[in-house]
Structure formats: structure tokens, C-alpha cells
Amino acid sequence: MLKAPAKTLATAIAACSLLLGACAATPQADAELAGNWQLRDFKLTNSNQTRLIGLEPFSMNLTGNGEATGRLDCNTWRGRYEDVTDSTFALRDMVLVQGRCGHLASNIDMLERVFPEFLEGEATYTIEGREMILETSRGDRLRFEATHRRSGDS
């Protein structure tokens, strides 16, 4: 007679384990975001001027498994990203690894200092073809171009 309650208890424990495992899972990264993105220009909220990037040192690589890495001139950064909504993603746990950079143009030097703060947290995005526009909660805007897409879009 104890078999039925024991079986019910075992089934309940198994169901709870599955539910807890699902809740503990890392949020899925959006496949649409996955790829290598090159920064083309940016605009800060405290500036009425869009600044074009003449060099190619600012990039962001988003993997399909939620890892994020990038370059800031001779510095690199890493962190993780997650899809929050259909048009919002968040970069978390960003770490900047500083290299020895030479003298840069003032707008690039300024961007290198603020880029991690720029991206940390949630940003809305729109992707059209090979272009992605990110806008932070402060209203800062970054325009990226895809150099490689993992979602099948080129």
C-alpha cells in the first residue's frame, strides 16, 4: 500500500526538479543578435553630433549561447548577453581588459572610456539587413554593421 504514495511522491519530486531546472536556466540569447558587429557611428545624448568612426577597432561579437566579446582599439572586453524582449537585450558582467593604446583621436579616445558603461545594462535594438541600431536607456545611440551573421542572414 505504500507503493502508490511513494510513486506519487517520486513523480512530484521529479516534476519539481524539472520546474526548478527550467527556472534556473540562463535566459536564451536571441539568434538574430548572434554574429560579429562592427561599430560604424555613435551619438551620445549630451551631444547633438553623430560621430563617425574612421578606424575599425570597435567591435562586438555575440554568440548564440549568450557570450559577448569585443574590441575597443587595443583593449578587449567580455561579458554575457541575454534577450529580454523581442527588441531589447542586456549585456551583463562586462569586464574590460586594458592594453597599451597609443594616442587616439579625441572622439575615439572618449568612446573607449565610455563604451563599457554605454552598453552595460539593457538596450533596445532594431536590425535591418546587415545594420543594427542600439539605443541605451539614456538615449545614447550606436550603429553597427554585421561583418558575419550566425543566424543565416548575410
Q: Tell me which amino acid residue 18 is.
A: L
| Residue 5 within a domain | no
- Closest by CA to 89, choosing from 63, 58, 121, is 121
Query: Span 33-46, mean pLDDT?
Result: 85
Selection from 49, 42, 45 nearest residue 72 by Cα: 42
Give the cell for residue 113: 572610456
User: What does pTM read for this prediction?
Assistant: 0.68
Domain count, the chain: 1
Residue with cell 549561447: 65
In this structure, is residue 89 part of a structural domain?
yes
**Can you read off the three cell numbers belonging to residue 116?**
563599457
Q: How confident is the model at residue 68, as a pLDDT?
A: 92
> For the chain, what is the mean pLDDT?
71
Phi-psi region of 139 (alpha: psi -120 to 50; beta: other; left: phi over 0): left
List the CATH number of the domain containing 112.
2.40.128.270
Which is higher by pLDDT, 49 or 38?
Answer: 38
> Has residue 84 been placed in a domain?
yes
127: domain range? 35-149
Q: What is the pLDDT of residue 6?
A: 41
Any domain includes 120: yes
Q: Which residue has the higher pLDDT, 78 or 109?
A: 78
Does residue 26 belong to any structural domain of this protein?
no
Q: Is the per-residue pLDDT at 117 higher than 90?
A: no
